[in-house]
Structure formats: structure tokens, C-alpha cells
A = this chain, B = another copy of it.
């Protein structure tokens, strides 16, 4: 049920003709209230797409009535004309729904550096408006797919209220955030947009921000959270954050599992870090090491490459006390040779790499993928 699992939302997904494949490519998610609280987090990339620039402004006042999303074009690096295209799209959606353009979040994904075919897009908006339905979350999730092999949705039902979400993203997955468009909805009654913002930032910090498939940060990443208040139930801040985090974590794992060309999902867990920042730096360094990622693809438990990646960081640790385990086998003990690497079985999709820094009490996990022939193929043969 995706974003329409919570009450107070309608959604749709239609074919506008932006994608050469003829697959659905325009989606709407409408918040029918009574509340219209909104919060969002965006890419940290300074080269941000026009819809990101627009949508930052939209959610700045804590209110949004609708999210319009398109695949088939990122509208990034398109200059002032591209920003105008986003503006026109928002005005068109606003007119159809009788809301203010300034309450329309716009998200785009696809190839960078090309203008959107606006006639098709606006026709798609009209069709998506006509198709809006209280159970349209599944169609919306399909319409935002790019190289995703499956639509990604998640829900968390709580006592009298719920959270629902959809995500797209299968490449360019990197921190802050992955190339992802995510819409999360809730029918919980939330005191104000600031409370929603807190819940979203806490949720993304430990979920989407810790997915690092290929170290490449996108120009379009957007995660939007909308609250309708339609359930009449008022969870406390902790309950709201927990449920939003659960949905984001579910979607984040689906992104890793569907990453372009990946054969393995790798959890890089750093224990014994002196701080969360240290743990994150080390985990990212390992997760981004191409040689390590190739080794996992080849079924080679090459812990030397893990240590070489750890050694490039500024985190607190003593090289002589580092421990590394792969899928439960401690292949490196005290910075040197541990159990035989022949004992490690990397055949399964899920791989767990555990590094103990012995420098503190913090634990951080980052999820990544292996580096495969298929990754190279997908990203060399097709433009994105």
C-alpha cells in the first residue's frame, strides 16, 4: 500500500512518455489533511538539481500539500530554463488540485543535463491527477523507478496510526543521501512541522545516510515526510521517530538489495569506535574501497584490503590491535593473521564484515555492495 497505507493520502502513477521504455514515469502523492505538515532532507551535493532547489523552499515553512515526481529525466544541470520547468510543473499541479504552487514538492530522477519534455510531463500530471486514488500507492511506487528492478514500498502499522513509504534508487547510492527519491507518509497527529522534521532527520541519519553503494552522491536525492493527522492518534515523539525509522530502514535495505549490478549486500560494522564520527569514517572508507568490493565479488575474504582501508582514516585506533571478522570468522587478530581465510564462506548474498577498533564503545554499520562486472556494465552501457 505504500504511501497510501496511512489515511488522508491519495496517490497515482501514470505513463507520460518520458521514458523510452513506455513504463510509468509520473507520480502524484496528495495529502488531503486535515494537517499538511511536511519535512524533507535533500542531497548534500552542491550541484543540485532544479527540483531540489525548488523543493527546499517549498518545505521551508513546514507545509506541503502534494508531491509530484517524475522519472525519465533528472532536470539537473539545466540552468535557469530547468528551474523554470520545475516552477511550471508545480504551477500546473497546483492549478489541478486547487492548492498553492508553493506547497507542491517536485522530485525528478533520470539523466543529468537534459531538459524535460514539458508537454509530455504536464500531460502526465493531468493523467496522474485524474488517476488519484486512496489505494494508488503501488502505482506511484512503480512510476518513480529508473534502473530499479522492483518497486520499493514499506509500511509500519502502530496503534491507531501508521507510516507508509516508497523509494526509488538503484545506483549512485551514497551518503547524504543515495540517489533516491523517497516519500514517507503518516496519518499520525503531529504537533507541528518541527516535530516531523526531527523525526525525519533522526530516521535518515541511521538509515539512508548509512547506505553507500558506490560512493557517488547524487544531484537529486530527496526524502519527503508528510503528515495528514487523519488518524486522530497522537504518538509521542519517540513513537513517531521509531515508526518513521522502521519504514526508512526497510526501504534502505531494499535499495541495497536492488543496487545496480550487485551480487552481495555487505554490512560493514565498526565496533569499538571512540565516537560515532570515527566509526562512520572507518565504515565508509571500507565500504568505498574498490579493491575490497571486488574481492567480495570474487569470494575472496581479503582482510588485508579491509585493513588498508581502515588505515587511510583519521579515526582513533592502534594498528596493532585491530580485529577483523568476515561472516563470523576472525581472519585478522591484533593487526595480524588470524583464522585461515579458507574458513570464510562468501557464497551467500549477505556479507558481514566486522572491524573492532578497540578504541571506545561506539558501533556504526554502513551498508554497501560488491563491485561487479554487472555494475560496470550497467554504468558504462547506459547513461544515467
A residues lining the B interface (CB < 8 Å): 44-48, 74, 76-79, 81-82, 111-115, 171-172, 214-219, 288-291, 294-295, 297-298, 300, 302-305, 307-313, 317, 319-320, 322, 331-332, 334-337, 341, 371-373, 375-377, 379-381, 383-384
Contacts A47-B308, A305-B112, A334-B79 known; A294 to B371 CB distance under 8 Å? no
With a CB–CB cut-off of 8 A, which chain B residues contact A380? 294-295, 297-298, 300, 371-372
With a CB–CB cut-off of 8 A, which chain B residues contact A377? 373
Report how far A310 CA is from B291 CA in the complex, Å. 23
Contact check, B383 vs A309: say whether CB atoms are below 8 A apart: no
With a CB–CB cut-off of 8 A, which chain B residues contact A384? 291, 302
With a CB–CB cut-off of 8 A, which chain B residues contact A317? 46
Report how far A377 CA is from B377 CA in the complex, Å. 13
A74's nearest neighbour on chain B, judged by CB, is B304
With a CB–CB cut-off of 8 A, which chain B residues contact A311? 45-48, 217, 219
Chain B nearest CB, measured from A239 CB (Å): 35
Contact check, B79 vs A320: say whether CB atoms are below 8 A apart: yes
Chain B nearest CB, measured from A236 CB (Å): 37
A216-B291, A291-B384 known, 18 other contacts, Cβ within 8 Å: A45-B308, A47-B335, A76-B307, A77-B303, A77-B337, A79-B336, A111-B304, A113-B331, A113-B341, A114-B337, A171-B291, A172-B308, A215-B289, A216-B290, A216-B308, A216-B309, A219-B308, A290-B371
Report how far A291 CA is from B383 CA in the complex, Å. 10
Report how far A302 CA is from B172 CA in the complex, Å. 14
With a CB–CB cut-off of 8 A, which chain B residues contact A373? 373, 376-377
Contact check, A300 vs B113: say whether CB atoms are below 8 A apart: no
Contact check, A302 vs B77: say whether CB atoms are below 8 A apart: no
With a CB–CB cut-off of 8 A, which chain B residues contact A77? 303-304, 307, 332, 335-337
- Which of B113, B214, B295, B337 lies in contact with A304, CB distance below 8 A? B113
